[in-house]
A = this chain, B = another copy of it.
Amino acid sequence: MAERVRLLDVAKAAGVSQGTASNAFGKPDLVRKEVRERILEVARELGYRGPHVMARMLRTGKAGALGVVFPDNLEYAFSDPVAIELLRGVGRECARQAVNMMIISAENPEQAITAINNAAVDAFLVHCYSDDNDIISAIQRRNQPLVCIDTDIAGAAGTVVLDDFAGAEMAAQHLIDCGARRFAILSLQANKAENFGPMNAKRRGAVSHRVVRERLGGYHAALKKAGIAIEDIVHIECENMSSHSAEMVETMLRDHPKIDGILAMSDVIAIGALDGARASGRKIPDDIKVIGFDGIAEGERTDPPLSSIRQDSVEKGRLAAEMALGETQGDNNRVLETSLLVRGSTR
């Protein structure tokens, strides 16, 4: 590889100072047209590739990139449909603001901390369920704007969450309206430690993930209002994977054959629930009604199509990116609304 041509070389060859040459590239208005064109011409002749990115970064202190981190599970970003929608929204806003998008990737938490420390970015976006986390501390140590999605983090520059309580309440109320009386709740992971399977009262009381806590609260509120005792509800903690929830549901229906309403905290879980219920010989929605949460596109093509609580994940991502990149203008705590999406699995 030939030796790199530097701005100074161009300046000398063009007979101008380095400062003027710099302006020819970065602030064309400040250089007389004639001079500017000569500089660009000389640059081309010398094979100058334009200002060195890292040098400019160091000088200006701007990275021109937004860091995106998924601390709970770093490969999750490209596996979960909801995370992908989020990324689509983030990408859209980044494009609008002419900023690149840095996905922080790592195989384990320790490596993630290094990855964060090595990332040349101007701000961070974090999607996670938990808030006590070495990864998050590492981000905060960088002392750059940090916006978190779906959880509250102390000291964050902004927060974008859903009105999860209201959404869950809506879901449960809908199943009640459809005539369900014996409920199972399929929960997302509730704590840092993986502990899948039936949840007893103690575990339900120790939920640390905000999303799970809120949605559980919403479900319970609606069911209680309908005269259903919390103790009569079956609670199961699932991995956010259809194949896993399908198994869980098969087992569950063996132990609790009278269940006629399933409240799933994600559509991915709900889709597995449809499979599990069908495999257990149930007709949906006649024998069991199922409602998910998120409103992902895949829910249109399940058998039967999945009812859900719709959220706008794309907009959630876009908004978060806007907050992270923005000049912290005004309201930094956004709560987005959800809506009921009725499809075949509940009617």
Q: Which residues of A contact B (CB under 8 A)?
A: 1, 49-50, 52-55, 57-58, 61, 63-65, 74-75, 77-79, 84-85, 87-88, 91-92, 94-96, 98-107, 111, 114-115, 117-120, 141-143, 298, 301-303
Contacts and interface: CB of A to CB of B under 8 A. Distances in A.
Contacts of A57: 54, 57-58, 120
A236 to B, nearest CB: 23
A102 B100 contact: yes
Contacts of A100: 102-105, 115, 118-119
A50 B53 CA distance: 21
Contacts of A98: 106, 111, 114-115
Contact of A75 (B54, B88, B106, B118): B88
Nearest to A114: B98
Contacts of A53: 63, 117-120
B120 A63 contact: yes
Contact of A54 (B1, B54, B78): B54
A50 B115 contact: no
B91 A78 contact: yes
A58 B107 CA distance: 26
Given A50-B117, A117-B50, A99 B105 contact: yes
Contacts of A84: 78, 84
Q: Which 6 A-B pairs have the closest CB atoms?
A: A78-B88, A95-B105, A101-B103, A54-B57, A54-B58, A64-B118
B88 A111 contact: no
6 contacts: A53-B120, A54-B63, A55-B58, A75-B91, A98-B111, A100-B103
Given A75-B88, A102-B102, 17 more contacts: A49-B143, A53-B63, A53-B118, A54-B57, A54-B63, A64-B118, A64-B119, A75-B95, A77-B91, A78-B85, A84-B84, A94-B103, A99-B105, A101-B102, A101-B105, A301-B301, A301-B303
B105 A91 contact: yes
Nearest to A119: B100
B111 A107 contact: no
Nearest to A85: B78
Nearest to A107: B95
Contacts of A104: 100
A95 B119 contact: no
B87 A78 contact: yes
A65 B117 CA distance: 12
Contacts of A94: 103, 105
A141 to B, nearest CB: 6
Contacts of A58: 52, 54-55, 57-58
Nearest to A141: B49
Nearest to A116: B100
B105 A103 contact: no
